[in-house]
Structure 1
Amino acid sequence: MTDTKTSLAFKPPRATEWKALTPAKQKDSEETTARANQSELHNTLLASLQMQHLVVLSGSGCSFGAGGPSMSDLWQEVVGATPTDAAKAAAKTVGHDIATQNIEALLSRVEASLALKEDQTLKGFLDGSKSKILKKCSDFLVGEDKLEAHKTFVHRLSRRRARDQRLKIFTTNYDLCFERAASALGAVALDGFSFASPRRFDPRYFGYDIVRRARNGDESASYLEGVFLLYKLHGSVNWADKGDGNIVEEASPKPDEACLIYPAAGKYQQSFTQPHLESMAQYLAAVREPNSCIIVAGFGFNDDHLSAPLLAAVSSNPHLRLIVVDPAAEKNLQAGNAHWKRLGALSQQGEDVWFISADFGQFVQLIPDLKSLTPADALAKAIQGAARAM
């Protein structure tokens, strides 16, 4: 859920202090500083969103405001606030300390144990766990009333100039937040599935686009607004694997057919099997594109197969801007995992890495609306940017 205590601030490259976006006290000096900081971040985001390539990496934090589950929620769903007898038995069988309350570690040990030796009781626990996770990630989204942040996000970021590349959203979430938000807006998410029912996965559809053809045939076609590419890196709650590479979209797939990469150590290997392989290939290519802005929101940098390529790109791609949005960014830079510490070091060295302390709902309100600019405003912004660069 949205953390109302999150203090809005940002940290530019090489900066040693965070710049507050809201005054801590009602003082004229602090209000003036906050307004100046707001203007600086607004101009940075405005320039970033107009770069040739705009890429988003979204994690579970983006779904919290819509009611999406956290890892601790999944733990309680599978194991229980007070561990069930089945969970305790499974943990004892695989030698896992259930007190750690780490769902990924537990399921990883269960999978590893089953790979070495068949155990019907253990397999039953694993299958039941996957079924509960699938249901937990599906049932929270019953309407559009909790999707205001996603709708604003898609609306503002997908309204880019026709000459720029389409917005690309990569997400580790199983849920349908972005799809439902796009539907509510009349936008189009190109997700690798066919346009006819039943919708079937085919990587060729990622290479398609949508244009508006003139009625009289004399004018050239123009690209349709509000179209973006959506890559579900860990699968989706409405993907069903029918075997032989046949992936179809279903409202409620059976747990044994659900095409998901569940939270376990094996997700690295599973990411390089279809249909996930295609999304991973697109992700690895996207972070290497020149003149690119990558926005990371709600992602904790706990997935090595996604974090490592991104950090490598920051070091090797001279035309890459990285904007990391997290309500606990300041804390993570000080006491987070190795990827967070590496990001902090790269930013201090002068790499184009920005940090914004905000949750997803707060961040979308900071995103400039590209279409709200008049031609005169756009020209003035361009002149100001050129003047600052001199």
Structure 2
Amino acid sequence: MSDTARAVPVPLEVNYSGQLAYLSPGSSVWKALSESAYRVIQRVTDIEPEAQTRIGQNRQNVIDLFSGALQYTNLGFFAGSGTSLGAAKGPSMWKLWTSAMCTDATGNQLTELGQEVCTKIRYSERENPNIEHFLSQCDGYLSFSDDPEVAAFVTTVKAQILDLCSGFLFDDGADITAYRYLLQKLARRRVRDPRLKVFTTNYDMCFETAASDLGITVIDGFSYTRSRRFDGRHFSYDVVRREADRQDFVEGVFHLHKLHGSVSWEREGNEVFEVSQPRADRACLIYPAKGKYQQAFLQPHLELLSRFLDFVRQPNTCLITAGFGFNDDHLSEPIFSAIQANPSLKLILTDHRCIEHVHNRGHHGSSPYWGRFADLAARGFDIHFIGGSFADVVDVIPSLRAVSPAEQLAEAVRRVGRAHE
């Protein structure tokens, strides 16, 4: 067997998706954080009392990990599409493809117009069609060909994407409880610390809706005028409570950076406004296409991306990711570079397929960045992996609050005791 063949990992025999487990830096052993995960990882049906104790210890260790991480001066949460695919029931990439291009949800038959456009632009993927690749080829075709039919079809596809990424929140089955719990836990930072930074590639309004439900103020780069206009200077503004003899920062405020745009943004000339129903041809979105790297250097995406790049280079910074598959090179590469250049950066990478991604190392549909991060973690870099759904991960994050000196002393004694067990 050649070295190349040995380098390709064999697909996992067991389905580890959604199993709550933890992989610490320098370790190759996944530790179960729940009984169901223990049964899958250890391939057993019964759990001995000693194993239950270990599961409890593993879970407490991860809670302690988050507890320490949340005390970092700069705290960021990065949400990918996976956060919306769970209880929120947001659309998957396959859903976007079948809804825009096919006659039914199976994806076996393209619409007549869809087939005609595919022929024109020479898009021939049929076994594993991808809406990203399709839109990318459309963009390339239109850059050299003035074809009104293709241009109109692309606008129609984008309108459907816009509708699918905004309408699911109004369905009866949509549940954004995990978003509310996350903001309740993370946004309660000490007011003297920098505000929580939430970065997301999602177009949907899950974070805005959750914040509204909780009565939390969101600083998203838009003005607080009747016609809300984007201006990056608003990220330097804050909200204070002013009384006769004093003023204090309002608790719970957080910054929201929607790196790929939003279903509520519309471009008008050189400016971007927040509207309730943007037109597809004016919607300010980086649509799911391979050319998104180039689109990221247009405003307001450039402003938001610059703030993200600056954040991961700050000292004493912790970045938690959830539902992000590291398939966007213009975001994955800065994170990968930052962890090597910033010695005080802590990464906690979570995903419902985290175990599979780390194992696959760029094969079987996983991004190669998972293997690169795993290699750095094996060398001692401060990179932690947690497998599990978005809701399960939020569940093990402790509520963020200021810890009293007595509590800090008690926690230190408890950790020393566990270290000597």
Give TM class, smaller chain. over 0.9
What is the TM-score when the length of structure 2 is the normalising length? Answer: 0.87
Structure 2 counterpart of 1:248:
273
Task: Choose 75-84 or 312-321, whichever is displaced more.
Answer: 75-84
Structure 1, gaps ≥5 residues long: none
Determine which of 256, 272, 294 is the counterpart of 2:297. Answer: 272
2:18 is the alignment partner of 1:6: yes
Determine which of 72, 76, 101 is the counterpart of 2:98. Answer: 76
Distance 1:249 1:75 in 2: 27
Structure 2, gaps ≥5 residues long: 1-14, 40-45, 361-365
Distance 1:385 1:210 in 2: 37
Distance 2:338 2:29 in 1: 25
2:209 is the alignment partner of 1:180: yes
User: Aligned-pair distance for 1:386?
Assistant: 8.2
Distance 1:4 1:338 in 2: 19
What is the TM-score when the length of structure 1 is the normalising length? Answer: 0.94
Amino acid at match of 2:382: D
Determine which of 73, 76, 83 is the counterpart of 1:62. Answer: 83
User: Aligned-pair distance for 1:378?
Assistant: 3.7
What are the equivalent positions in structure 2 for 1:333-372 lying under 5 Å apart?
333-335=358-360, 336-371=366-401
User: Aligned-pair distance for 1:165?
Assistant: 1.2
Determine which of 120, 129, 148 is the counterpart of 1:93. Answer: 120
Q: Do the aligned partners of 2:221 and 2:230 also contact (CA within 8 Å) in 1?
A: yes
Change (3 A) 1:372 1:6: farther
Distance 1:266 1:6 in 2: 31
User: Aligned-pair distance for 1:67?
Assistant: 1.4
Distance 1:11 1:4 in 2: 14
Q: 1:265 aligns to what SS in structure 2?
A: coil
Q: 2:288 aligns to what SS in structure 1?
A: coil
2:219 is the alignment partner of 1:190: yes
Root mean square deviation of aligned Cα = 2.0
Q: 1:141 aligns to what SS in structure 2?
A: helix
Determine which of 39, 43, 47 is the counterpart of 1:26. Answer: 47
Q: Do the aligned partners of 2:17 and 2:356 also contact (CA within 8 Å) in 1?
A: no
Distance 2:29 2:240 in 1: 46
User: Aligned-pair distance for 1:77?
Assistant: 1.1
Structure 2 counterpart of 1:301:
326
Structure 1 counterpart of 2:28:
16
Distance 2:33 2:16 in 1: 15
Change (3 A) 1:143 1:86: closer
Distance 1:261 1:315 in 2: 28
Distance 2:315 2:29 in 1: 29
Change (3 A) 1:387 1:282: farther
Q: Do the aligned partners of 1:10 and 1:21 also contact (CA within 8 Å) in 2?
A: yes
Q: Do the aligned partners of 2:350 and 2:388 also contact (CA within 8 Å) in 1?
A: yes
Structure 2 counterpart of 1:311:
336
Q: 2:166 aligns to what SS in structure 1?
A: helix
Structure 1 counterpart of 2:130:
102
Q: Percent identity?
A: 41
After superposing on structure 2, the runs of 4+ consecutive aligned residues of structure 1 that deviate more than 4 Å are 372-375, 382-390
Change (3 A) 1:385 1:162: farther
User: Aligned-pair distance for 1:388?
Assistant: 8.8
Determine which of 144, 165, 179 is the counterpart of 1:137. Answer: 165
Structure 1 counterpart of 2:256:
230
Amino acid at match of 1:175: D
Distance 1:384 1:234 in 2: 44
Distance 2:203 2:349 in 1: 21
Amino acid at match of 1:77: S
Q: Do the aligned partners of 1:88 and 1:98 also contact (CA within 8 Å) in 2?
A: no
Aligned pairs, number = 384
